[in-house]
Amino acid sequence: MDKKNEVILTIGHLKKSYGDTEVLKDIDLEIKSGEVVVIIGPSGCGKSTLLRCLNGLEKTDEGRILLHGEPVDPKSAGIFRMRERIGMVFQSYELFPHKTILKNITLAPLKVQKRKKEEAEAEALALLERIGLSAHRDKYPSQLSGGQKQRVAIARALIMHPELLLLDEITAALDPEMVREVLELVLSLAKEGRTMLIVTHEMAFAEAVADRVIFMDGGSIIEEGTAEQIFHYPKTERLQRFLESLKFD
């Protein structure tokens, strides 16, 4: 896939509150086809809320989210189709515990996209091959390690052929020895030119994968730039302080 430089997602003046707490304050952001954008920022600054809004899992208070010019609106009839086009992977995998690995992957293409069983299974098997889990197709999620489960969750998102993939701290619940296998899979997706918006605390990974890094704090985008600019030449005091605080983790 080549980078077409075409804007596929536009976020304009996005605002969101929970009660009196303003969690997202006037967020503006554009994502281009083939771009990998990483969001960093302290816990509680609104990263997950932003991703959930982009996937139509949260309703926004003000502003707009457009995918190829079409609104992402949880109240609209088109929201289910939008969720197919914008895939999301969570920290907690969210696999169906009572379904096999293969069925976890084929469920949505069969039920939601009404694809043919042979075709969906063939693609699921190819994805299992790619993530090195072919031998586990008939096992249940509880029989897999965290790293394996997260790779299945990624495969389950990929089979829907999303135009944009949202990854929310997908390695945060993993033991350190499993983080690498998941991040390597994400790096390979980036090399294929997939468009991704990634929230992570893995700063070395962020630097390796990102075309652009966004630093959020207190519900706002404080600074954005290349990985080199953000990690090595931070401009704002808030970003400098945040990067400094990571050294003591």
- Tokens for 55, please give them: 């996937």
Residue 115 in contact with residue 152, Cβ under 8 Å? Answer: no
Residue 18 C-beta: closest distance to ligand ADP, Å = 3
55 binds, among Mg ion, ligand ADP, none (CB under 5 to 8 A by kind): none
Residue 45 partner contact from Mg ion, ligand ADP, none using kind-dependent CB cut-offs of 5 to 8 Å: ligand ADP
**Strands, E, within the chain: which ranges?**
7-18, 21-32, 36-40, 62-67, 70-71, 86-89, 164-168, 196-199, 212-217, 220-225
Closest to ligand ADP by CB, 50 or 133:
50
By C-beta, is 79 or 172 nearer to Mg ion? 172
Closest to ligand ADP by CB, 105 vs 198, is 198
Are residues 14 and 219 in contact, defined by beta-carbon separation less than 8 angstroms?
Answer: no
User: Between residues 9 and 54, which has the closer beta carbon with respect to ligand ADP?
Assistant: 54
Tokens of 103: 């069925």
91-115 burial, b if ≥16 CB within 10 A, otherwise e?
Answer: bebebeeeebbbbbbbbbbbeeeeb
User: Which sign does the torsion angle of CA 132, 185, 155, 104 carry?
Assistant: positive
Closest CA to 90 of 199, 194, 203: 199
| Residue with Cβ nearer Mg ion (49 or 106) | 49
Which residues of the shown chain bind ligand ADP in the complex (CB under 6 A)?
Answer: 18, 23, 41, 43-49
Site string for Mg ion, 46-85 (x = CB under 5 A): -xx-------------------------------------
We find the least distance from the C-beta atom of residue 246 to ligand ADP, in angstroms, to be 15
Which partner from the list ligand ADP, Mg ion, none does 127 bind, CB cut-off 5 to 8 Å by kind? none
Q: Is residue 200 close enough to count as binding Mg ion by CB under 5 A?
A: no
Q: Please work out the total of residues on this chain that contact Mg ion, with binding judged by CB under 5 A.
A: 2
Q: Residue 43 has which token pair?
A: 């816990």
Would you state the structure tokens that stand for residue 66, as one six-digit string? 């457009």
**Taking CB positions, which residue lies at the least distance from Mg ion?**
48
CB of 152 to Mg ion, least distance (A): 21
Axis crossing angle, helix 101-111 with helix 146-158, rounded to the nearest 10 = 20
* Nearer of residues 48 and 150 to Mg ion, judged by Cβ: 48
Q: At closest approach, how far in Å is the CB of 75 from Mg ion?
A: 24
Q: Could you list the residues that contact Mg ion (CB under 5 A)? A: 47-48
